[in-house]
Chain A
């Protein structure tokens, strides 16, 4: 039982970080009706902004994290939206999706070229102690990862549902033409969405990099898992992305511990196939009708 609790908590912790990245897929889908295939690299890159700030600019960790967050919001939020999405937005669909694939390669290869192909140690930002809870050895880092991720998601949900701007963002996602006529600056709302996505990706990066180290290729796995989590949970619902992320994190850990670790990488794909066959809109997603 104690082992089960440990495995469950660890899975929830990792899953909550996947959920942060998966929410990004949902946000960008709602704002721009596109899939950002560079989302994994969006989670990989902020860790390198922090490492640059520490190793080349001599910043202390707290300032480096702030620098990393600001750079992420600037590069992965503002510049991504202005330079790639906005010029291509009228042509939604395949061209924009291909552009995000190209961006994914560009970011990955740039980090490899400028920082190196080796995995880089990332400073611990959370306590490394363990605590004994009813016989189970619990990692404080796991608990805090989970708490921080859930806090971020709750804050985002409150912002979207309990502020005027949040409601304007929802209106823009649901019907941009009407939102515009009602006076909502939809371009600004879409920009907010991209900035929030970049912030969440940076947070996911800061939480996961101490566990997996910072490496140029981290985005490959993270991007795929977060994409699958968003589909499994329901691509058009934030709550779906959260559920999908947590589910994959927990199942991954349980499978590796109690069944086999050899096929753990295949588990999200099996889950994806089952969900597509059984409930294509995802566990918590809703059907979307589209005019063609």
Chain B
């Protein structure tokens, strides 16, 4: 796998809040089509790292390249056009829009010019594609429901569908399993794996649910106190004594 050109390269990212080193000189590559897990105890710097990668937090040091292009100085809103998608730890739908409109909005900024968007059709010609995405995530029965009225797990699925709507090359998933019930979780994992196989989309997944992350990811990086302490396949991580001591426990 390492012979491939990385889709994303993170080099020496550091972020400090007062005296606390939230992320400490973190470097790693993400390769095309892989599902990379980022795990670690609470406060280990996973979400801060995501925010630094996406420019939502300014890193103190370090660079991020996507597709060979430096993105550290890009605005967050421009990263989507470079093929980067993201889901959030908290619910992140537009609560007063329908499920269909949420998913259309997720793709519409890639359509047309600024002028055509001022006067263009509200669905940006994306209804059919959005319907397909809704069907893929098995949300067709909720198509016209207000997103804010859905259950937590259903909103997580809408959130995932939104992240994929613009056809990203790489998606950063921040705790996709958090708060999702077991039935829905199995469906979510199956959908993510299916999407990964069908579209060769690369995922970077932050997750605390070990069963979920071990069965979803092809490679895992473990963070503790802002630094990488281990990296390997799920089996290697399970048996890594340092990881067991710092995170997985006896």
Contact = CB atoms under 8 A, between A and B. Distances in A.
A284 to B, nearest CB: 13
A192 B218 CA distance: 44
B122 A164 contact: yes
A177 B111 CA distance: 20
A163 B121 CA distance: 6
A72 to B, nearest CB: 20
A182 interface: yes
A180 interface: yes
Interface residues of A, number: 23
Interface stretch (A36-44, A166-174, A244-252): A166-174
Contacts of A185: 75, 77, 109
Interface in B100-140: 101, 104-106, 108-112, 116-122, 124
Contacts of B79: 181, 183
Contacts of A179: 94, 105
23 contacts: A161-B122, A163-B117, A163-B122, A164-B121, A164-B124, A167-B122, A168-B109, A171-B97, A177-B56, A178-B88, A178-B94, A178-B162, A179-B105, A180-B76, A180-B77, A181-B56, A181-B76, A182-B80, A182-B105, A182-B109, A182-B162, A183-B81, A286-B96
Interface of B: 54, 56, 75-81, 85-86, 88, 92-97, 101, 104-106, 108-112, 116-122, 124, 162, 166
Contacts of A161: 122
A168 B108 contact: yes
Contact of B105 (A162, A171, A177, A186): A171
Contacts of B110: 183
B122 A171 contact: no
A164 B101 CA distance: 11
Contacts of A181: 54, 56, 76-77, 79-80, 85-86, 88
B95 A174 contact: yes
Contacts of A171: 94, 97, 105
Contacts of A183: 77-81, 109-110, 166
Nearest to B120: A164
A6 B10 CA distance: 71
B105 A167 contact: yes
